[in-house]
Amino acid sequence: MGNPMKIRASVKDGVTEVKVLMQHEMETGLRKEADGTLVPAWFITEVKAQHQGRTVLEAQYGQSISKNPYLLFRFKGGAVGEKVTVTWMDNKGDTRTDEAAIAA
């Protein structure tokens, strides 16, 4: 159970714009502690966004993405008040899902 995301969605001219800010360490697995031991890899591997049960975005994430990733995407359709759900999964099997209502 990761930390909550911030999701903002708004619809304009039939296109919904979604902004997602995820909270995640995104550790590459290449960084070392001061004593030389490797910091184990820990990063988001998959992101999925759904609108009313329909998958509107699927992405594969990796080590090259920064800590606390920010994602902006648009999809056709969507109406004020409808829900957008975003889920991420990381390489430790942890997952987090948050949702937001589409604003005007």
Partner 1 sequence: MNTSRLTRMILVLALAASGAAQAADDSASDSDKIEAYREMISDGNPAEFDEMRGEELWKKPAGPKNASLEKCDLGKGAGVVKGAYAALPRYFKDTKKVQDLESRLLTCMTTLQGIPEADITAKPFASDKKPSDISSLATYVVGQSKGMKMAVSTKHPKEKEAYEIGKRIFNYRAGPYDFACSTCHATSDVRIRMQDLPNFNVKADAQSAYSSWPAYRVSQGLTRSFQWRLNDCFRQQRFPEPKFASEATVALTMYLAVSANGADYAGPGLKR
Do residues 16 and 8 make contact, with C-beta atoms less than 8 angstroms apart?
no
Footprint (CB under 8 A) of partner 1, residues 63-82: 66-68, 70, 72
Using the rule CB under 8 A, is 45 a contact of partner 1?
no
d(Cα 68, Cα 40) in Å, to the nearest integer?
17
Q: In sequence order, which residues have a C-beta less than 8 Å from that of residue 37 and are 6 or more positions away?
A: none
Query: Which stretch, 18-26, 45-53, 57-65, 75-83, contacts partner 1 (CB under 8 A)?
Result: 18-26
**Cβ–Cβ contacts within 10 Å for residue 94, how many?**
13
Scanning 40-48, 52-60, 61-69, 85-93 for contacts with partner 1 by CB under 8 A, the matching segment is 61-69
Contacts with partner 1 by CB under 8 A lie at 3, 6, 8, 19-21, 23, 66-68, 70, 72
